[in-house]
Each structure stands twice: as C-alpha cells, then as structure tokens.
Amino acid sequence: MKPDLDEIDDKILALLMDNARLPVTTIAKSVGIARTTVIARIATLEKRGVIAGYGLKLNQKIVQPAVRAYVGLSVETRYAAGLIKYLQQLPETETLCAVSGAIDYMLTLRCGNTETLDKLLDQIGALDGVRQTSTSIILSKRIDRGAL
C-alpha cells in the first residue's frame, strides 16, 4: 500500500533527506507553510511509516575506510539463503540488494585496504552457489542523497 503524499510532503521529505537535522523553521520557510504545520506533517509521516527513522552519516572525508566496492553476484537460487546469511555476518557488508538483470545481487563492501577486499572477494567467490562476481571499486561519490 503506497501512502498518499502531496507536493508539500514531497518537499518536506526532500529537505529532510538532504539534512535530517534541518530546523523546522527552515523547512517551514522553504515550503511556505507554518512551523506548526511542518511539525504535524513530520509527525504524521513518522506515524504512517513513511519516515522509518533517522541515522548518523559520517563525514567521508574524515572517517572512511580506504576501499569501498560494488560487487555484482550471480548465484544459484538454492544457495541464496546461505549466501545472504554469510554476508549478513560480515562487518564489511554495507548493503545487499536483490536486483534484476544479469546479476542476482548487488553488494556494497567497506574494507580498510585493498588486501582485505581481495581476500574477501576470494572468500565470497569460493562460496557454494556463487557462479560469478564482478567488482567495481568506488573512487568517489558525485551525488549522495541517501541516508544510512
């Protein structure tokens, strides 16, 4: 069930996605509504589950492991649950998404150095059911609108 969001909700959400700590008064001025209306709308969005939570985003220029990489995984279906369980316990796993197309999953890894990444990729590639991996090291983020 998709919640009904109007233009004002969309504007509030866009502002909060850029900066979740943006003062309510700033949001109110940007959207052109009263501060109390912004407070009520945010509370409603939280209550309806549109806003699922708030998180901490580290300054990547100050605190960042040396290497982040996207890893495309092609997996035999019967081994998928075991692979997910394995990846879930790895501290280097940042995200794992099921995707459509030639690969089955897109994994994001965060490692302290290339040696750690290399060993981890060898371990993942050797898991039962992993047919193929394809890795791209992230050089820099040009646009980042996502929260943690």
Region class of 129: left (phi > 0), else alpha (psi between -120 and 50), else beta: left
- For the stretch 109-130, pLDDT in tens is 999 889 999 999 999 999 999 9
What pLDDT score does 141 carry?
A: 81
Sign of the four-CA dihedral 65, 66, 68, 71: negative
What pLDDT score does 17 carry?
A: 86
Percentage of the chain with pLDDT > 70?
91
Nearest 5°: phi and psi at 62?
-100, -50
Asked if residue 2 is part of any domain, the answer here is: no
Q: Kindly state whether residues 71 and 131 are assigned to the same domain.
A: yes
Domain CATH for 86: 3.30.70.920
What pLDDT score does 148 carry?
A: 45
SS3 percent helix, strand, coil of the chain, rounded to 5, is 40, 20, 40
What pLDDT score does 118 carry?
A: 96
Q: Kindly state whether residues 73 and 39 are assigned to the same domain.
A: no
CB-based contact 97:105 (threshold 8 Å): yes
- For the stretch 31-80, pLDDT in tens is 999 999 999 999 999 999 999 988 777 666 676 657 999 999 999 999 99
Asked if residue 125 is part of any domain, the answer here is: yes
Distance in angstroms (rounded) separating the CA atoms of residues 24 and 30: 10
Which range marks the domain in which residue 132 is found? Answer: 67-137
Q: Say how many domains are in the chain.
A: 2
What pLDDT score does 133 carry?
A: 96
Asked if residue 28 is part of any domain, the answer here is: yes
Chain centroid offset of residue 30 CA: 26
- Angle at CA of residue 141, ends 92 and 98, nearest 5°: 50
Q: Which two tokens stand for residue 99?
A: 């995707």
- The mean pLDDT value for 2-28 works out to 89
CB-based contact 83:127 (threshold 8 Å): yes
Asked if residue 57 is part of any domain, the answer here is: no
Collapsed DSSP state (helix, strand, coil) of residue 112: coil
Domain CATH for 21: 1.10.10.10
Asked if residue 55 is part of any domain, the answer here is: no
Asked if residue 11 is part of any domain, the answer here is: yes
What pLDDT score does 1 carry?
A: 53
Asked if residue 117 is part of any domain, the answer here is: yes
